[in-house]
Structure 1
Amino acid sequence: MRRSSQHSWQAGRVAVLGVDGWRGAWVGALLDGRSVRLVVLADAAAVLAVPDVEVVAIDMPIGLSEDGVRPCDATARDLLKPTGAASSVFPAPVRAVLAAADYAEARELSRAAAHGRAPSAQTFMLVAAIRDLDDVLGDPPTDRVVEVHPELAFRLGLGGVTDRKGTARGSVQRLRALRAVMDVEEALAEAPAGVPLVDALDACAAAWSAQRLAAGTAERVGDGTTDSRGRPMRICW
């Protein structure tokens, strides 16, 4: 039976939230058992304010290095290299970049802190969302918000995904992988207007990772270190 968008999550069940960035906002996938519902959330504060959610798995860097490449990024790229998806892991900016007003200043701050390394324009596009999330995580940060990466979930966890997202083959592969663990087609049919398929699928993959985190069965990469604000530098799936 299809559940309405006003469904209240069943008492005693563990609901989780997977989140993917989208056009200055966030696409969330609320997952309870197999039932999943897609929502649009205006900012990181709205993400953390979603009620009755045990784990929030978000496709965005959380722990940030002060002076170089995060080990979790390097390991994730190595794991995805045999699948052809290594480039999907963008090197996270160093923490100093969060203070930048524009790309030119971001490059200057990064080069000073990271031995001459500067962020790509693609990475800089994420800085506003990273800053938004960093601002609301608190000190010490809430441990129910965890960094994930959809391609690790699709390629190494769920499996059966070999083609790039956004392509016809890649989209069908991702749908099939998610169908095995959740009612993804129902969620897509009732998605908020305008939400792209790729972001909806990534949010669902993040929700699957959140479900594994809640169950204690998730995998992760990282060297166990935290950044200067106590945020772990790790990626889970």
Structure 2
Amino acid sequence: MPRSSQAAWQAALVAVLGVDGWRGAWVGARLDGRRVTLLVLPDATAVLAEPDVEVVSIDMPIGLSDDGARECDVLARRRLARAGSSVFPAPVRPVLSAGSYAEACEVARTASGRALSVQAWNLVPAVRSLDAALGVPPDDRVVEVHPELAFRALDPRVAAPKATARGLAQRVRALEPVMDVLDALADAPERVPAADALDACAAAWSAQRLAEGRAECLGNGSTDRLGRPMRICW
């Protein structure tokens, strides 16, 4: 086999992991070539312990600002236009120590001049768990992604909300050319919602692009005080 062909073949065999938060746990999509396997992972430590994966792409904020909005969130909402509401503003880092929503809002106002949204507060336990698992310095295999950016890159026809039949079908259609998504859904762990499974698959496609050096990212190149990039890739 010619060296260039062998290198391409080996790259195609690199396993990656896409992850989406789900009910205090995580749905993982392990992608190896076209084959994708859906997993339920109990916590962030289990996500990072998944063996033999080149990249872990997570639909969860990683690099956190101390005092205001992240440029990557602003750019992602702008890029997604009508679907921009799916990008929740990441909590500022000081909020991770808050014990209640009221305290979180007070901390957020002090740090950034704005209260925390309920949606962002609901993300805090998962963000806190992931933040602790990443350690310092952070694991550079782990990259923040957003599934809606991936779906629209795969197929611009993806437009309907993911909770609808039309939105579900549009996302399956977008993924079918790049992975065996129907087989993965047919063998999914019990009770895993289709929308979360598809988001994890989209994250896995983003991870594959990152592993191959083909990914796109939004952000201004800044990092947070722990050295974690404030960016969103796909």
Is this contact kept in 2: 1:220–1:235, CA < 8 A?
yes
Which aligned pairs between 1:188-203 and structure 2 lie closer than 5 A?
Answer: 188-203=185-200
In structure 2, the residue matched to 1:102 is: 100
Residue identity matched to 2:100: D
How far, CA to CA, are the matches of 2:11 and 2:212 in structure 1? Answer: 17
State whether structure 2 residue 71 is matched by structure 1 residue 71.
yes
Structure 1 residue ranges (4+ consecutive) displaced by more than 4 angstroms after TM superposition: none
Which aligned pairs between 1:29-178 and structure 2 lie closer than 5 A?
Answer: 29-81=29-81, 84-115=82-113, 117-178=114-175
**In 2 relative to 1, CA 55–11 (structure 1 residues): closer, same or farther, beyond 3 Å?**
closer
How big is each residue's C-alpha offset from its partner over 1:38-93, in whole Å with a ceiling of 9 and x where there is no partner?
Answer: 00000000000000000000000000000000000000011011xx2010000001
Residue 206 of structure 2 is aligned with which of 206, 209, 213?
A: 209
Residue identity matched to 1:109: V
Deviates more, 1:171-180 or 1:148-157: 148-157
Is this contact kept in 1: 2:221–2:231, CA < 8 A?
yes
In structure 1, the residue matched to 2:3 is: none
Q: What SS does the corresponding residue of 2:75 show, helix, strand or coil? A: helix
Is this contact kept in 1: 2:12–2:33, CA < 8 A?
no
Structure 1 regions of 5+ residues with no counterpart? 1-9
Residue 160 of structure 1: CA displacement?
A: 2.5
Is this contact kept in 1: 2:155–2:174, CA < 8 A?
yes
In structure 1, the residue matched to 2:220 is: 223
Is this contact kept in 2: 1:220–1:234, CA < 8 A?
yes
Report which of the two has the higher share of helix: 2
Q: State the TM-score, normalizing by the size of structure 1.
A: 0.93
Task: State, as a whole percentage, how many aligned pairs show the same letter.
Answer: 68
How far, CA to CA, are the matches of 2:38 and 2:157 in structure 1? Answer: 23
How far, CA to CA, are the matches of 1:224 and 1:185 in structure 2? Answer: 37
Structure 2 regions of 5+ residues with no counterpart? 1-9
Q: State the TM-score, normalizing by the size of structure 2.
A: 0.94
Residue 178 of structure 1: CA displacement?
A: 0.5
How far, CA to CA, are the matches of 1:128 and 1:110 in structure 2? Answer: 16
